[in-house]
Amino acid sequence: MAATQEEIVEGLAEIVNEIAGIPVEDVQLDKSFTDDLDVDSLSMVEVVVAAEERFDVKIPDEDVKNLKTVGDATDYILKHQG
Amino acid sequence: MSKIKPSKGAPYARILGVGGYRPTRVVPNEVILETIDSSDEWIRSRSGIETRHWASDEETVAAMSVEASGKAIADAGISAEQIGGVIVSTVSHFKQTPAVATEIADKLGTNKAAAFDISAGCAGFGYGLTLAKGMIVEGSAEYVLVIGVERLSDLTDLEDRATAFLFGDGAGAVVVGPSQEPMIGPTVWGSEGDKSETIKQTVPWTDYRSGEVAKFPAITQEGQAVFRWAVFEMAKVAQQALDAAGISANDLDVFIPHQANERIIDSMVKTLKLPQHVTVARDVRTTGNTSAASIPLAMERLLATGEAKSGDTALLIGFGAGLVFAATVVTLP
């Protein structure tokens, strides 16, 4: 069953927490991965791969750079999830 | 049809000795920061690199190779005349003809050993090792020298903030010889030419010669794509090499991945779920990324510092421009 927006944000928060050590409550839709959450470009790849597995979605390299905020990633997953 | 007598090789092959050469000049991040807008902290956090070595005019590809090979030959306890093959993996020897391997074979004092260069980027050492093993088991050479050597400082764009800090120079060599026991496992290797644009030379030499481009060619890469492939795809290849050798992660003593970037190494260790007891090579911190030279250089350092010892079981994996990869389990010399 497809995940809801709320479930995706919750999942991303857990992933970002595990990879970058950011408190889950800080991961909000308007937060920028690099500027607000201290997720650098390489950690972002780890976040993306973990999100792909969790939400059964493919996020190609060329799309990763467009995912600036948690909201961008959430929208992308909502639209592309299997 | 006449019957052709078959060649007769050794039952198995092993690495008998290792040697390395790092150029005299040590280059700290401060020097890199003279040409790019970055910081020591940024470079360290993205790559783990603190210093790298850059070769002088005298520290040529051949000269560095001869130094590293001399040490490997001494470590193996053989003489140069016994070497029947010299395989050199490099992408930064700027004279394509003749192969630099012939000059190295001669300078070392081999007895007209078969000598040739290969081009397999950062997987070059594993490719060379696989060829050497084949030559020994097949019987066309008793001892083979495998050299990974690079002067990547010559192919570095010092104004590119994504790669200026990454590369270093150096040579690593091993002597491969006959063994009664299998001490080099099956190689899991291959290429993914559909990803050839991920790591590449900016332009062909001919474009530079014709004046079409003013800037000397350099190595460039798509950082995120390389990172994803290196960590997640290469972890699968590393696991396949373990499986092919019949070795579990628990049996492993040492992990020597290509020293591309410490973040890749950290992530690979995590993805592979390597146990705590496995010693992980992190030579990249003070040697930078030396492409084909990185695995033998890291191996030499681990043995020299006592972090690894002779007889340890090590997983080697090289991966890079091509894209190409090669992984195998070996017993350390």
Please report the DSSP string for B173-194 in residue order: EEEEEEESS--B---EEEE-GG
- Considering the domain architecture, whether residues B229 and B109 belong to the same structural domain is answered as no
The parts of chain B modelled with pLDDT lower than 70 are: none
Q: How many separate domains does chain B show?
A: 2
Same domain? For B29 and B166 the reply is yes
pLDDT tens-digit map of B169-206: 999 999 999 999 999 999 999 999 999 999 999 999 99
User: Two tokens at B19?
Assistant: 């040697």
Per the prediction, chain B carries an average pLDDT of 96
Contacts B227 to A, Cβ<8 Å: 42, 45
Residue B167, SS3? Answer: strand
Hey, is B145 helix, strand or coil? strand
The CATH number of residue A35's host domain is 1.10.1200.10
> Could you tell me if B128 and B87 are in contact, meaning their C-beta atoms sit under 8 angstroms apart?
yes
Burial class (CB in 10 A: 0-12, 13-18, 19+), B113: buried
Largest CA distance in chain B: 71
Range of the domain at A18: 5-80
Among B179, B207, B238, where does a domain finish? B179
Strand partners for B42? none
List of residues 6+ apart from A75 with CB closer than 8 A: none
Q: Is B5 helix (H, G, I), strand (E, B) or coil?
A: coil
What pLDDT shows up at residue A38?
A: 87
Among chain A residues, the shortest Cα distance to B195 is held by A61
To the nearest whole angstrom, how far is the Cα of A66 from the nearest Cα of chain B? 13
Q: For A10-24, how does the pLDDT look when each residue is reduced to its tens digit (9 = 90+)?
A: 999 999 999 989 999
Catalytic residues of B: 122, 258, 289
Residues A61-79: tens digit of each pLDDT = 899 989 999 999 999 999 9
Chain A contact set for B49 (CB, 8 A): none
Same domain as B163, residue B34: yes
The answer to whether position B4 is within a domain reads: no
CATH classification at residue B86:
3.40.47.10
The share of chain B scoring above pLDDT 90, in percent, equals: 97
Do B290 and B169 belong to one domain? no
pTM of the model: 0.94
Angle in degrees, 0-180, between the axes of helices A41-55 and A5-20, rounded to the nearest 10: 140
- How many angstroms away from the CA of B290 is the closest CA of chain A? 21
Strands in B313-320's sheet, in edge-to-edge order, are B188-191, B324-331, B313-320, B254-257, B279-280
Residues B172 and B193 in one domain: no
B223·A41 Cβ contact <8 A? yes
Interface residues from chain B to A (CB-CB < 8 Å): 45-46, 222-225, 227-228, 231-232, 263, 267
Contacts of B230 in chain A (CB under 8 A): none
Instruction: Answer whether residue B73 is part of any domain.
Output: yes
Strands B143-151, B169-179: pairing kind: antiparallel
Residue B64 amino acid letter = M
The pLDDT assigned to A1 comes to 67
